[in-house]
Structure 1
Amino acid sequence: MSDVSTTPLARLRQRPRDSATIYTVLVVGALLWSFPLLTAIRQSVAHGGFGNYWTVLTGEFNQVSLIRSFGNSLLIAALHALFVCAAGAMAAYAFSKIRFPGREALYHVTLIFLAVPAVAVIVPVYYITGQLGLFNSPLGVALPEAALTLPFAVLLLRNYADGIPDSMIEAAWIDRAGHARIFWHIFLPSTRPALINLGALAVMWSLQDFLFPSMVLKDAGMTTAAQAVQTIESAFGPTPEQTSQYFAALVLLAVPAVVLVVAGLRFITQGITAGGSKE
Structure 2
Amino acid sequence: MSRSARASYAQAVSAKVAAGAVRVFLVAAALFWLMPTLGLLLSSFLSPGDLNRGGWWQALTAPARLTADNYERLLANDTITSSLLNTVAIAVPATLLVLVLGAFAGYAFAWLEFPGRDWLFLVVVGLLVVPVQVALIPVSELFGSIGLFETTAGVVLFHTAFGLPFAVFLLRNFFAQIPRELLEAARLDGAGELRLFARVVLPLGGPAIASLGIFQFLWVWNDMLVALVFADSANPPVTVALQQQVRQFGNNIDVLAPGAFLSMVIPLVVFFAFQRQFVSGVMAGAIK
TM > 0.5 fold call:
yes
| 1:217 pairs with 2:227 | no
* Deviations 1:47-80 (CA, angstroms, capped at 9, x unpaired): 26221111112223xxx1x222111111211111
- Among 19, 29, 52, the alignment partner of 2:70 is 52
Question: What's the CA shift for 1:251?
Answer: 1.7
> Quick check: 109-118 or 243-252, which moved more?
243-252
The percent identity for this pair of structures is 33
Secondary structure of residue in 2 paired with 1:203: helix
- Structure 1 runs (4+) greater than 4 angstroms displaced: 15-22
Q: Which residue of 1 aligns with 2:51?
A: none
> Quick check: 210-219 or 244-253, which moved more?
244-253
Q: Which residue of 1 aligns with 2:31?
A: 31
Amino acid at match of 1:36: P
Distance in 2 (CA, whole Å) between partners of 1:97 and 1:25 is 47
Q: Structure 1 229/21 Cα, relative in aligned 2: closer, same or farther at 3 Å?
A: farther
Which structure has the larger Rg? 2
| Larger relative contact order (Cα-Cα within 8 Å, sequence gap ≥ 6) | 1
Give me the CA root mean square deviation. 2.5
Q: Structure 1 176/261 Cα, relative in aligned 2: closer, same or farther at 3 Å?
A: closer
Question: What's the CA shift for 1:179?
Answer: 2.0
Query: Contact 1:229–1:253 (CA<8 Å) still a contact in 2?
Result: no
Question: What's the CA shift for 1:35?
Answer: 2.0
Query: Contact 1:79–1:139 (CA<8 Å) still a contact in 2?
Result: no
Q: Structure 1 108/237 Cα, relative in aligned 2: closer, same or farther at 3 Å?
A: closer
| 1:252 pairs with 2:265 | no
> Quick check: 199-208 or 103-112, which moved more?
103-112
| 1:230 pairs with 2:243 | yes
TM-score (norm 1): 0.81
Question: What's the CA shift for 1:88?
Answer: 0.8
Distance in 2 (CA, whole Å) between partners of 1:114 and 1:20 is 42
Query: Contact 2:94–2:160 (CA<8 Å) still a contact in 1?
Result: yes
Distance in 2 (CA, whole Å) between partners of 1:51 and 1:185 is 51
| 1:264 pairs with 2:277 | no
Query: Contact 1:57–1:249 (CA<8 Å) still a contact in 2?
Result: no
Q: Structure 1 156/21 Cα, relative in aligned 2: closer, same or farther at 3 Å?
A: farther
Secondary structure of residue in 1 paired with 2:159: helix
Distance in 1 (CA, whole Å) between partners of 2:133 and 2:250 is 33
Distance in 1 (CA, whole Å) between partners of 2:22 and 2:120 is 41
